[in-house]
Amino acid sequence: MFDSQYCKIDYLQDKNAVLCCWKKYCTQDYYRDPLKYALDLVNKKNATTWITDTTNGFESHEEDVQWLTAEFSPKAINSSCKNIIFIIKDSSPLKNEIQMHSQLLKPFFNVKSVEQLEEI
């Protein structure tokens, strides 16, 4: 799978899901390349669920948010993915950003948040 100093991408066969686990802050290609890889994996495996682990996550840079909206999201919407799950603690400083992303995604996906992978 994909594993860099910023992000690890795995396919979870038992959940038919792609897991995107952020390790530390990154931007531009260091942020975008893992997401592109994960989306290719969704399509290759016909995965129905995308899981993003934000435990070690970070606020997205504005240019990357624009890229997500303009380029990445339309491709994800047209993929086999139907569910998006965020792993996030209630006390996370990212709570507001993840809630904003969730609201933007809800017209296209079943979106939910959990505190740990075992809750899925």
Contact 62, 31 (CB under 8 A): no
The structural domains of the chain, ordered by start, are: 2-119 (3.30.750.24)
pLDDT of residue 39: 98
Structure pTM? 0.94
- The secondary structure of the chain, three-state, reads CEECCCEEEEEEHHHCEEEEEECCCCCCHHHHHHHHHHHHHHHHHCCCEEEEECCCCCCCCHHHHHHHHHHHHHHHHCCCCCEEEEECCCCCCCHHHHHHHHHHHCCCCEEEEECCHHHC
Note the pLDDT tens digit of each residue in 20-65: 999 999 999 999 999 999 999 999 999 999 999 999 887 788 899 8
Note the pLDDT tens digit of each residue in 76-113: 999 999 999 999 998 898 888 899 889 989 999 999 99
